Chain A
Amino acid sequence: MLENHAKLMQFFSSTDEIVGRKKLQKMIYILKKCEIPFEERYQFHFYGPYSEELTLRIEEMCNLGFISETKEEKKNYYQYRYELTDSGRDFLTHYEMDLPPLNVHIEEMNGRSSRFLELVSTMLFFEHLPKEEITEKVFTVKSAQNYTQEDIDEGWKFIEYLRSIH
């Protein structure tokens, strides 16, 4: 029961908090691309890979009291902060998770901007293409973000590092 929710709770249990839904979306996608077996289905959206399923599961976990969500008003928008609750921790004790430790991945991603994670997840979305085509595709679909070649090089280094962790 709720195995996919439990995997997400395991993710939250590996960190103090996640700030921002956009960041959360991109982090789970990047972890999936690092062979961490999250099941949420992603599609490409205006801001890169996005999973409606993930949004719904987070909402369910908040409503069940497994995760706490704090809404913070920013200048022109709202931002959301997520933490695993004690109920969530209790729930997790009923599961034997086959996930590898995620704390290093999460710490690395938490230290990066959501703009950078948007770039990395977009690069991974086009990973099946040759590298030059990926660059071209990123410049085309993310023209508004004004990413540079240096950003993309940094993105590849980051991906390589994340994948070397295990």
Chain B
Amino acid sequence: MVYRDEKLSEEKVFKDPVHRYVHVRERVIWDLIGTAEFQRLRRIKQLGTSYLTFHGAEHSRFNHSLGVYEIVRRIIENFKDRPNWNQEERLLCLCAALLHDLGHGPFSHSFEKVYKLDHEDFTQAILLGDTEVNKVLSKVEKGFPKKVADVINKTYENKLVVSLISSQIDADRMDYLQRDAYFTGVSYGHFDMERILRVMRPMEDQVVVKESGMHAVEDYIMSRYQMYWQVYFHPVTRSAEVILTKILHRAKELHEEGYSFKLKPVHFLSFFSGEPSLKEYLALDEAVVLYYFQTWMEEEDTVLSDLCYRFVNRKLFKYIEFNPNSQMNEWMELYKLFTKAGLNPDYYLVVDSSSDLPYDFYRPGEEGERLPIHLLQPNDELKELSRLSDIVESISGKKRTDHKLYIPLDRLEEMSNRSKTKKRIMEILFG
């Protein structure tokens, strides 16, 4: 039997708290799970700094990747005899689902922002480079790694296949919403996925949902909306993210100034120069990052040591609501006052915005802007979800954005009460 069709002698299952079981029958999938690059995902948390807010949120990208694979497996099971579905694409879909997050690094979003990287580039590099994953995929057929890379990059010719992994109602989102709700312990990430899977239909270039399944989709949209504001944009998590980002900036700045670290940041050097090789990129996981943070707490540079102490020991910045339009003059005054108080404002006076977050909620958008969720009506016409659902229309039409100002309140409180600088800072911040 050729490798692509090879089945395990008996089905393997992974116990999973969200989907109960993840079923594996294909040899290719089993081999991919066993590769070093896939196993590395165990050491990358799915929710980055959220564990500092929700103590249960320690789940990894490994868990999530298996979950996405399982959802796609179930969708395809439902699709197999339907028009527009080509069963030949099955293995490709399963591989792409399993590997879609392969290039994520530790605390990805902050690393990407500070060191100008893109995890998607590393996903491509792992799939196409000299890696264990590439060896497994190449055994399927010569061009197979490229096909998987194209699906994940959303540039594969069959858009239906792409939309299973990446669209407004895809396996990726359906897994992370439920998984993140489960591990954070919140009660609002749940929706009836079984129902959605039953009413999903393959069309020529996208997955659509039968109109009769609209209420299940409404629940999914509500879940996305609530998880966004209650979990992903939680201000305490954002505070940890602000500190993490500032640590990465500070370490880079010190390196560029020729500062002599007590512990040479060997694992970070290629990140500072902005061009880590694949090997260097893969060598940096969360355990390594946290080891450096632990060590940098002893550095002589007080900004770096203080920020690391805050991150490791959860002594986070406090926050206040902030309007960059009406409070621009106050911000400029605060910038000067912080400098006067000996608090470097580039590190201790930080505005964080909702657009700094790598999550979104559903918006129908404009024609040709982004493919929305389409409902399949009994007459075979497609209609955008919010045109039929009052609930979705009301939450997607409402614009909600947010800006907060993060500050080390403890440091301000330590200042003498006779200090005019402190008095004025407190006046601006708290009235």
Contacts and interface: CB of A to CB of B under 8 A. Distances in A.
Contact of A64 (B118, B206, B325, B370): B325
B229 to A, nearest CB: 14
Contacts of A103: none
A60 B155 contact: no
A9 B171 CA distance: 36
Contact of A45 (B112, B154, B351, B354): B154
B154 A63 contact: no
A165 interface: no
A94 B331 CA distance: 11
Interface string B57-88: 00000000000000000000000000000000
A8 to B, nearest CB: 10
Contacts of B154: 43-45
A2 B351 contact: yes
B394 interface: no
A33 interface: no
B interface, over-half SS: loop
B157 A64 contact: no
Given A43-B120, A64-B324, A56 B367 contact: no
A62 B399 contact: yes
B205 interface: yes
B401 A59 contact: yes
Contacts of B328: 91, 94
B366 A50 contact: no
Interface string A37-63: 000010111110010110111011011
Interface stretch (A10-18, A71-79, A153-161): A71-79
Contacts of A5: 324, 353
B323 interface: yes
A19 B367 CA distance: 12
Contacts of B403: 60, 64
A76 B370 contact: no
Nearest to A115: B368
Nearest to A93: B328
A59 B11 CA distance: 48
B387 to A, nearest CB: 10
A47 B354 contact: no
Given A64-B325, A76-B367, A56 B159 contact: no
A87 B331 CA distance: 16
Nearest to A118: B368
Most B Cβ at <10 Å: residue of A21, A62, A143 = A21
Interface extent on A, as a size class? 35 or more
A114 interface: yes
Given A1-B351, A41-B118, A140-B157, A22 B368 contact: yes
Interface in B139-177: 153-155, 157, 159, 163
B366 A79 contact: yes
A50 to B, nearest CB: 6
B143 to A, nearest CB: 14
Contacts of B118: 41
A22 B401 contact: no
A43 B162 CA distance: 13
Contact of B355 (A21, A57, A78): A57
A60 B353 contact: yes
A50 B155 CA distance: 13
Contacts of A57: 353, 355
B351 A60 contact: no
A141 interface: yes
Contacts of A62: 399
Nearest to A144: B205
B365 A64 contact: no
Contacts of B399: 59, 62-63
Given A64-B323, A65-B325, A22 B367 contact: yes
B371 interface: yes
Contacts of A25: 369
Given A1-B331, A62-B399, A94-B328, A47 B370 contact: yes
Nearest to B372: A46
A45 B401 contact: no
Interface of B: 112, 118, 120, 153-155, 157, 159, 163, 205-206, 323-325, 328, 331-332, 351, 353-355, 357, 360, 363, 365-371, 399-401, 403
10 smallest CB-CB distances across A and B, nearest first, come from A77-B367, A56-B355, A46-B371, A60-B401, A21-B366, A64-B325, A44-B154, A22-B368, A21-B369, A1-B351
15 contacts: A1-B331, A1-B351, A21-B369, A43-B154, A46-B163, A46-B370, A47-B370, A55-B370, A60-B355, A63-B401, A64-B323, A64-B401, A87-B325, A91-B325, A91-B328
Given A1-B324, A60-B354, 12 more contacts: A21-B369, A22-B369, A43-B120, A44-B153, A46-B206, A46-B371, A56-B401, A59-B399, A63-B399, A65-B325, A114-B368, A118-B368
